[in-house]
Structure 1
Amino acid sequence: MSHILHVDIDAFYASVEQLDAPEYRGKPVIVGGLPGDRRSVVSTCSYEARRFGVHAAMPVAEAYRLCPEGIFLRVRMRRYLEKSAEALAVFGEFSPDVRQISIDEAFVDLTGTERLFGAPEEAARKLKRAVRERTGLTVSVGLAPNKYVAKIASGMSKPDGFYAVPAGGEEAFALALPLEKLWGVGDKTRERLKAAGFRTARDVHRASRSALVSLLGEAGGAFLYRAVRGEAAESFGGERKSRSLSAETTFGYDQTDLSALETCLLELCHTVVFRLLSSGKTSKAVCLKIRYADFSTESVQETSAREISSVDALYERVAALFGRKYRRGAGVRLLGVGALNVTDAAAPEQGELFDFGEQKRRDVEKAILSLRAPGDSSCRQATNTPAPIPSAPAATAAPVKNLFAAFIFCLQYV
């Protein structure tokens, strides 16, 4: 029998800001951008801000209208990655099988750890205490026999919550949920279900698999058929650890805001590059995965002659792939970024004539990784707003002009 924990750091970005600045505690903190920033969206907000109706992916301008007294802050991704790594290290002390699925959440497989940490419920509470003591953050935890139910369970008593679904109780748990609580069922899917007469999870449960497939398509119907039975309805991605390093974010609802998608891609690139650096790996191949609201999935990969040298370099390649593959206006359910065919990082190769600062960026990121200490936020690189994702490949400038620009650029570092 499996014992799976889903661990979710509560209001992660906002909680880190309140941890670093005690004067923010108990106040509405909204992370994503300043009210005057164009195209900014809310990445995370504190529970105090949520009482005003503020939520993730909302335009910052709208958040300001709802909560003008809020504390608006820009994203500090390097700091959040530091705290995420601290939490992940704690998770790893409770199980050798930890699957991080985003910067603030992970699955921890407690199966077979009873002799070390006691019953799964006891181990879950120990993990919660350890995270608080070591990181200063709180986590909400769901315990269940499979990942899908554990994912829903972790949100049942937030913040700082714990909810356990016993073996054999998965279907009863799912049937007691309103449609809004069935994780992964977005607004458009709920609208189609309600238009067809489905109001509750029990209504969906009474429908045949073929009926749901005819309504929602093969992937969507099969997903929902399993979901209302408390089965493993979502795979949450997968990776061959020896050959790839990847990071994914699955949105709880259909995401259509391009700024939010750009920010998400940048966060995923940060995670992948720092995992490459910390594991001493390198790669020349990148991949992008887009899963839409209808469960259709686009996957694309690209191999370059150059290794992934920095977060900026990876984001540039990923953003170009996204610009070519994304169906404009379509709701996105999942984004994933990965480095394929990873190998051990070799000794530095002979430098290129026109490096364009990539080696400097790589050295800075390695320095941050090697120098940072737990809880130390004094050493970090500034996080830039992601460049807009191109809608089509940009035109190439004349070769002579490019060469001259490269020459002038290089003079800055001579």
Structure 2
Amino acid sequence: MIPEDKYRKIIHIDMDAFYASVEQRDFPEYRGKPVIVGGPPEGRGGVVATASYEARKFGIRSAMSSKTALRLCPDVIFIYPRFDAYKAVSAQIHEILHRYTDMVEPLSLDEAYLDVTEDKQGIGSAMDIAGLIKQAIRDELQLTASAGVSINKFVAKIASDMDKPDGLTFIGPSAIGAFMEKLPVEKFFGVGKVTAAKMKAMGLHTGADLKKLSETEIVSHFGKPGKFYYQVVRGIDNREVQPHRETKSVSVEDTYQEDLTTKASMLTELEILTENLAERLHSFGLKGRTITIKFKFSDFTIMTRSHSLTELVNDKQEIFKIIKMILDKAPVEEKRVRLLGVGISNFELPQKENHKATGSQLKLF
């Protein structure tokens, strides 16, 4: 048991429908209307990067094909991303976050962890700090953010998603055990669609079900990630907030209801994934040299194939040329593909010192 005075104070800030909210803020004609930021549905069709909350009421979600989104809401408005604008707003958000702590770990343009165990202004209460951050974002940027507050990163992130939009949720040490037991397995960090389906087929639907298994049993069924599942279902997450975390790679993937059996069908899905990947690269302001395709087959075996370039790239068309070349050479004939992923790495980012959270607690939340 961790002594109360040794608990960390972690905040997870997550902007609400960030890209779409920036568009609605900057262009009044979009306010109150279903808006999608992403590629339009013409031709092969684009991908939804962000949907406004008005669009989400129709079942539209991120990473959905634009054609599907249009079927769900024929009146939806498609807007091409303005990544320079989003990056500028993100910089303003991070300026606000750094008023309270230097322990800020950005996850993307619209999401970050903060360790406020020792906050700059000596406020002491993580809930008060989260409230002040949300208010500053609202007053200065005319946008809303949701915040989760807890003693570790995993629980804080889950908390930030509980009362969106404009939410503020605290899950304290005494509540974590019961909370994790009620949490659906698909909400656990690292549990994707396939793993969640496997868990449910085993009768594991909630944290309480997972908690019945020993660490050895979980690892035997789910491999190395099972160690993490065993810990977090008990509310244990010792990952520190890393202010200068180096991004090693960016990737996207999707699992298909029906196995893909031809290279033509794989190429169609890979183009959708490539567009989504390019949008993420632009949002992070990254370019890379090594492009990778991940194949997961119907027997759950995995194969990856990569190609490295001499120049840095983040353009969709340039990446897709390499994707097509990799697929052409990949031995996937007569294979049944259930999952495809595309990724890019080798960013050659400058190395920075990794500052670690230290120090004792002030007062509990």
8 Å CA contact retained: 1:12, 1:44: yes
Given candidates 202, 221, 226, the residue that maps to 1:221 is: 226
Residue 48 of structure 1 pairs with residue 49 of structure 2: no
Letter in 2 for 1:269: L
* SS of match in other structure, 1:157: coil
Given candidates 343, 350, 363, the residue that maps to 1:342 is: 350
Structure 1 residue 238: Cα displacement: 6.6
Counterpart CA distance in 1 for 2:342 and 2:114 is: 21
Deviations 1:244-267 (A, max 9, x none): x5376687x956753453234324
8 Å CA contact retained: 2:114, 2:241: no
8 Å CA contact retained: 2:11, 2:150: yes
Greater relative contact order (Cα < 8 A, sep 6+): 2
Structure 1: tracts of 5 or more residues without a match: 277-284, 345-414
TM-score, length basis structure 2: 0.74
The match for 2:42 is 36
The match for 1:150 is 156
Letter in 2 for 1:227: V
Residue 70 of structure 1 pairs with residue 76 of structure 2: yes
Letter in 2 for 1:221: G
Given candidates 66, 76, 79, the residue that maps to 1:60 is: 66
The match for 2:105 is 99
Counterpart CA distance in 2 for 1:290 and 1:224 is: 27
- Distance verdict in 2 for CA 1:37–1:78, change over 3 Å: farther
Residue 194 of structure 1 pairs with residue 189 of structure 2: no
Counterpart CA distance in 1 for 2:293 and 2:102 is: 29
The count of aligned residue pairs is 325
Letter in 2 for 1:270: H
Counterpart CA distance in 2 for 1:292 and 1:21 is: 41
8 Å CA contact retained: 1:286, 1:338: yes
Structure 1 residue 97: Cα displacement: 1.4
Structure 1 residue 292: Cα displacement: 9.2
8 Å CA contact retained: 2:274, 2:320: no
The match for 1:375 is none
* SS of match in other structure, 2:173: coil
Listed as ranges, the matches of 1:311-330 within 5 Å are 312=315, 316=318, 320=322, 324=326, 329=337
- Distance verdict in 2 for CA 1:135–1:61, change over 3 Å: same
Given candidates 72, 83, 93, the residue that maps to 1:87 is: 93
Structure 1 residue 200: Cα displacement: 2.1
Residue 110 of structure 1 pairs with residue 111 of structure 2: no
Q: Which deviates more, 170-179 or 88-97?
A: 170-179
Larger-gyration structure (1/2): 1
8 Å CA contact retained: 2:11, 2:114: yes
Deviations 1:255-298 (A, max 9, x none): 67534532343244335547x9xxxxxxxx8567999999x998
Counterpart CA distance in 2 for 1:85 and 1:44 is: 19
Q: Which deviates more, 16-25 or 30-39?
A: 30-39
Counterpart CA distance in 2 for 1:44 and 1:236 is: 29
Given candidates 6, 16, 20, the residue that maps to 2:12 is: 6
Structure 1 residue 161: Cα displacement: 0.3
- Once superposed, what is the RMSD of the aligned Cα atoms? 3.9
8 Å CA contact retained: 1:45, 1:56: yes
Letter in 2 for 1:198: L
Deviations 1:320-341 (A, max 9, x none): 4897599985647996746336
- Distance verdict in 2 for CA 1:174–1:45, change over 3 Å: same
Listed as ranges, the matches of 1:120-159 within 5 Å are 120-159=126-165
Counterpart CA distance in 2 for 1:89 and 1:327 is: 49
8 Å CA contact retained: 1:174, 1:182: no
Structure 1 residue 173: Cα displacement: 2.0
Counterpart CA distance in 1 for 2:325 and 2:114 is: 34
Counterpart CA distance in 1 for 2:331 and 2:50 is: 26
Deviations 1:296-348 (A, max 9, x none): 998989685x7x5x855x9957984897599985647996746336389xxxx
The match for 1:391 is none
Structure 1 residue 180: Cα displacement: 3.5
Counterpart CA distance in 1 for 2:154 and 2:295 is: 18
Counterpart CA distance in 1 for 2:181 and 2:341 is: 23
Structure 1 residue 130: Cα displacement: 0.8
Structure 2: tracts of 5 or more residues without a match: 1-6, 257-268, 353-365
Structure 1 residue 158: Cα displacement: 0.3
Counterpart CA distance in 1 for 2:57 and 2:331 is: 34
Counterpart CA distance in 2 for 1:290 and 1:127 is: 39
Listed as ranges, the matches of 1:192-271 within 5 Å are 192-216=198-222, 218-232=223-237, 245-246=246-247, 258-271=270-283
* SS of match in other structure, 2:78: strand
- Distance verdict in 2 for CA 1:315–1:110, change over 3 Å: farther
Structure 1 residue 164: Cα displacement: 1.0
The match for 1:26 is 32
